[in-house]
Structure 1
Amino acid sequence: MVTAAPGEERSPALALVNTRRLSPAGEVDDLAEPGDATEWLRRHDLPPARLTPDDLPGLLDLRAAIREVLAASAEDRTPAAKAVETVNATARADAAAPQLTWLAQPHREWRSTRPGSAEEALASLARDAITVVTGELGRLVRPCEAHGCVRFFFREHARRRWCSTTCGDRVRAARHQRLVVEQRGATEGPR
């Protein structure tokens, strides 16, 4: 299992974009099959009970759109209009309405008008992406700086550059190897 990037526990939209990544064996997609995608949604407390093959393209399109929106936020640029439209259309695909609950005191909760549906899950992810890029967390979104890594994270420490210790260790090992080769070349001199 891959270690979660900083911020994934606070933002399911950030966790969603990191379901597609590169590994030493090649590209990995945690949402390649409807069963995998259903399990991922369940682990992130999102409906539905079962995602159908017809629901999967919408989830993958949303992931690509959110990736573009987060990348644009991190790069301080305007995202592609298609990505913004996909996020907005998905966010409004399931209406949420405030509901009154009364335990010890009144409490307002936003609830789906289509509970348990794929639309509810996708709309929740899209609304989270909107909240991230328009709120305090938007300025913290960063791509991992390790060569070959495509994940994003919330950079909450000024010195953090990588999404995981694995990526940081890879960068440090490559830097060490480069220095060893340079030192070897300097001591051997020209031939």
Structure 2
Amino acid sequence: MSRTPTAEPVLPPAPGAEDYLALDFVNSAIALPGGQFIDLLGTPETTNHWLAERGLAPADAGVQEMCATQLRSLREHVRALFAARVAGLPALPAALSAVNDALSKAPTAALLHWDEKNGPYRATPCPTNEILDRALATLAANTADLLTGPDAERLTDCGSTPCNRYLLRHGRRHWCSVRCGDRARAARAYARRTQPKPG
């Protein structure tokens, strides 16, 4: 399987990804026909670009490999939760723990600080080393919102092999893009043409 590092989208956002950052996050690893795989979080640079494009980090955050690895790990746990929800199966405890750990990473209250000149003040911290924690917490919270909200019933996986993206179903549509829908219809038509005639 070849891994093509790119920050350019190869497919339009899946239905629902504009409303749920968690869908966009899970869909940042894309399986394409011909064994190709694109990971928009594949390198620190592409991860920084992905986070910055979504307002989760400054463009110059300087994401390191360790941060990219943590994001990819959370993505796989969120993917496991989505798969469990779509299949109607219980969630993996490790996936739940990973999302809950990420949820608890961002401080919810402005902390007390003391300035030598002006005395005490409160501020919400966001030094560089906390950018990742805030991004993880935001992605985990959005995952929890999607899985516990009214749109959870519409969550499904793309019905076109080998696509691995998730979407919110609209009517009978089970594809993340026109390209995947065309590929699925072509595969069905080919299967009908090549089936032996009953005789």
Normalising by the smaller structure, the TM-score range is: 0.7 to 0.9
1:51 corresponds to 2:63:
yes
How far 1:6 sits from its partner (Å)? 0.4
Distance 1:23 1:145 in 2: 13
Per-residue deviation, residues 6-36 of structure 1 (Å, max 9, x unmatched): 0111111111111112112422211110100
* Match 2:141 to one of 113, 127, 145: 127
How many angstroms does 1:186 deviate by?
4.0
Give the conservation status (yes or no) of the 8 Å contact 2:11–2:177: no
- RMSD, aligned α-carbons: 2.1
Whole-angstrom distance in 2 between the partners of 1:142 and 1:170: 18
Q: 1:94, 1:112 within 8 Å by CA — same for their partners in 2?
A: no
- After superposition, where does 1:148-167 map in structure 2 within 5 Å? 148-155=162-169, 157-167=170-180
Give the match's secondary structure for 2:16.
coil
Shift of 1:52: 1.4
SS, match of residue 146 in structure 2: helix
Write the mapping of 1:64-103 to structure 2, written as runs, cut at 5 A. 64-97=76-109
The runs of 4+ residues in structure 1 deviating greater than 6 Å are: none
Shift of 1:113: 4.0
Q: Distance in 2 between matches of 1:186 and 1:131?
A: 49
> 1:94 touches 1:114 (CA, 8 Å); kept in 2?
no
User: How big is each residue's C-alpha offset from its partner over 1:149-168, in whole Å with a ceiling of 9 and x where there is no partner?
Assistant: 1110011x221111111111
Q: Which segments of 5 or more consecutive residues in structure 1 lack a partner in the other structure?
A: 99-110
Residues 102-121 of structure 1: pairs in structure 2 closer than 5 A: 113-114=125-126, 117-121=131-135
The size of the alignment, in residue pairs, is: 173
Q: Hey, what does 1:178 align to over in structure 2? A: 191
One-letter amino acid of the counterpart of residue 93, structure 2: A
Secondary structure class of the residue paired with 2:167: strand
Q: What secondary structure is seen at the aligned counterpart in 2 of 1:28?
A: strand
Secondary structure of the 1:55 match is: helix
Instruction: List alignment gaps of at least 5 residues for structure 2.
Output: 1-9, 111-122
Deviation of 1:133 after TM superposition, in Å, equals: 0.4
